[in-house]
């Protein structure tokens, strides 16, 4: 939030700066008044209950209350103006439409295109073109989650049975971490995602690559790995487009190897962590819905080779 990368986060950062300065000033004023009161009172021989003393105090308090009211009204107006700018989606251009579905504990990401063949499904990593407005439609498949990428915008709850919408935009390229902000069960802590903002050309390249179905394995280890995938539990939950794997319970793995992280932003996507995750997800993310897998070392090596080929 302190390092805004888009107009949404930027306007809130401005509001925060104003409120921070105002609050510091008010706090300092109250503390000075308190300190002066204590010093004054200490010097006194007896409590002052005179009319004059009461009158002075009354006038001071009326003034102080008036100032408080003025500051509050100013804050209210500033907040309202920021909020209105925040809520209204800019008209410019054709926004990128994304549907986000929260699951315990990962994110299903769908890019909606008017051509259904150009629509795209992935997980836990959202790529967006810099400078283009993105409209995110959200819901949840199980409990309440909340979508929050502090560098870009405030959060929005994802509630089963409700559909909520927000817009965001990245004004500079970067990889921004987001996290589920509503407590959603044991692995609420490890339900993160990455938003990758890249220049439009790069984004278009990424998009086209993601649209493609998976290529068949090119060597024997990989095709053994593919057989391991298809003959073990993996296939029950995961989809790899271009193969028979069509499970919808867990994240889509068609282009798994292109993602930066595994297990919803929890661990880096490399061979070591991937192997650990496949064998013992409960050790990394206790309570996660993925069961531990039992396989021979050579099966595992083949499977890893295959999964790492999913580019």
Partner 1 sequence: MASVEADVIADRDDSADLAALERSWREPPGLWGWLITVDHKRIGKRYIATALVFFLLAGLEALAMRVQLARPENGFLGPDRYDQFFTMHGTTMMFLFAVPVMLAWGIYLVPQMVGTRDVAFPRLNAYGYWVYLIGASFIYVQFLLNTGTDVGWFAYVPLAGPEFSPGKRVDTWAQMVTFTEIAALIAAIEIVVTVFKQRAPGMSLNRLPLYVWSMVVVAFMVIFAMPAVAVASTFLLAMDRLVGTHFFNPAEGGDPLLWQHMFWFFGHPEVYIIFIPGLGFVSSIVTTFTRRPVFGYVAMVLSLIATGFIAFGLWVHHMFATPIPQLGQSFFTAASMMIAIPSGVQIFCWIATLWLGKPRFQTPLLYALGFIVIFVIGGLTGVMIASVPFDLQVHDTFFIVAHFHYVLIGGAVFPLLGAITYWFPKVTGRLTSERLGKIGFWLVFTGVNVTFFPMHFLGLMGMTRRVYTYLPGQGWGGLNLLSTIGAFVIAAGVIVFLYNLAASWRFGAPAGDDPWGADTLEWAIPSPPPPYNHARIPIVQGRAALWSMTPDRPVVVGLNETRREVLVTTVMDAEPDNRQESPGPTPVPFFAALATGFLLILLVFTFQALWIGAIPLGLALFAWAWPRHPDRAWRLDAEAGR
Within 235-294, which residues bind partner 1 (CB under 8 A)?
A: 266, 286-287
Closest CA to 171 of 199, 208, 150: 199
Q: According to the binding rule CB under 8 A, does residue 86 interact with partner 1?
A: yes
Residues 92-121 as x/- pattern, contact with partner 1 by CB under 8 A? ------------x-----------------
Q: CB 246 → partner 1: shortest distance, Å?
A: 24
Nearer to partner 1, 36 or 236 (CB): 36
Q: CB 110 → partner 1: shortest distance, Å?
A: 19
Q: Which of 55, 80, 90, 311 binds partner 1 (CB under 8 A)?
A: 80
**Judging by beta carbons within 10 Å of its beta carbon (0-12, 13-18, 19+), is residue 61 exposed, middle or buried?**
exposed
Beta-carbon contacts of 260 under 8 Å, excluding residues fewer than 6 positions away, are 125, 175, 194, 196, 268, 269
Nearer to partner 1, 93 or 161 (CB): 161
Q: Which of residues 122-181 bind partner 1 (CB under 8 A)?
A: 142-144, 146, 148, 150, 153-157, 159-165, 177, 179-181
Nearer to partner 1, 82 or 258 (CB): 82
**Helix, strand, coil percent values for the chain (each to nearest 5):** 45, 20, 35
The total of other beta-carbon atoms located within 10 Å of residue 260's CB is 12
Nearer to partner 1, 61 or 215 (CB): 61
Nearer to partner 1, 48 or 219 (CB): 48
| Block residue for tokens 């283009």 | 132
The total of other beta-carbon atoms located within 10 Å of residue 26's CB is 13
Q: According to the binding rule CB under 8 A, does residue 21 interact with partner 1?
A: no
Nearer to partner 1, 12 or 245 (CB): 12
Q: Which stretch binds partner 1 (CB under 8 A): 21-29, 117-125, 200-208, 219-227?
A: 21-29
Give, in order, the Cα–Cα distances in Å from 233 to each of 15, 49, 288: 51, 82, 15
């Amino acid at each position: 939030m302190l390092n805004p990368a888009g107009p949404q986060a930027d306007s809130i950062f401005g509001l925060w700066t104003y409120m921070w300065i105002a609050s510091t000033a008010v706090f300092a004023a109250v503390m000075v008044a308190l300190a002066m009161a204590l010093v004054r009172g200490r010097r006194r021989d007896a409590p002052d209950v005179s009319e004059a003393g009461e009158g002075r105090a009354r006038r001071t308090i009326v003034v102080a209350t008036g100032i408080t009211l003025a500051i509050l009204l100013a804050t209210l107006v500033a907040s309202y103006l920021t909020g209105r700018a925040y809520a209204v989606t800019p008209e410019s251009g054709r926004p990128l439409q994304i549907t986000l579905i929260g699951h315990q504990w990962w994110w299903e990401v769908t890019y909606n295109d008017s051509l259904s063949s150009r629509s795209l499904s992935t997980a836990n990593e959202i790529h967006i073109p810099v400078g283009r407005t993105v409209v995110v439609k959200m819901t949840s498949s199980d409990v309440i989650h909340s979508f929050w990428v502090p560098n870009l915008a405030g959060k929005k709850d994802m509630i089963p049975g409700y559909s909520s919408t927000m817009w965001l935009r990245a004004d500079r390229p970067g990889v921004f971490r987001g996290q589920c902000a509503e407590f959603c069960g044991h692995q609420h802590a490890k339900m993160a995602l990455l938003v990758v903002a890249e220049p439009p050309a790069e984004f278009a390249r990424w998009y086209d690559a993601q649209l493609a179905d998976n290529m068949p394995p090119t060597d024997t280890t990989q095709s053994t790995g593919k057989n391991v995938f298809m003959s073990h539990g993996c296939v029950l939950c995961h989809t790899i487009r271009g193969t028979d794997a069509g499970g919808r319970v867990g994240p889509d793995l068609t282009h798994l190897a292109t993602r930066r992280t595994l297990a919803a932003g929890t661990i880096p996507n490399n061979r070591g962590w991937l192997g650990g995750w496949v064998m013992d997800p409960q050790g990394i993310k206790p309570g996660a819905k993925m069961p531990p897998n039992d396989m021979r070392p050579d099966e595992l090596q083949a499977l890893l080779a295959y999964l790492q080929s999913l580019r």
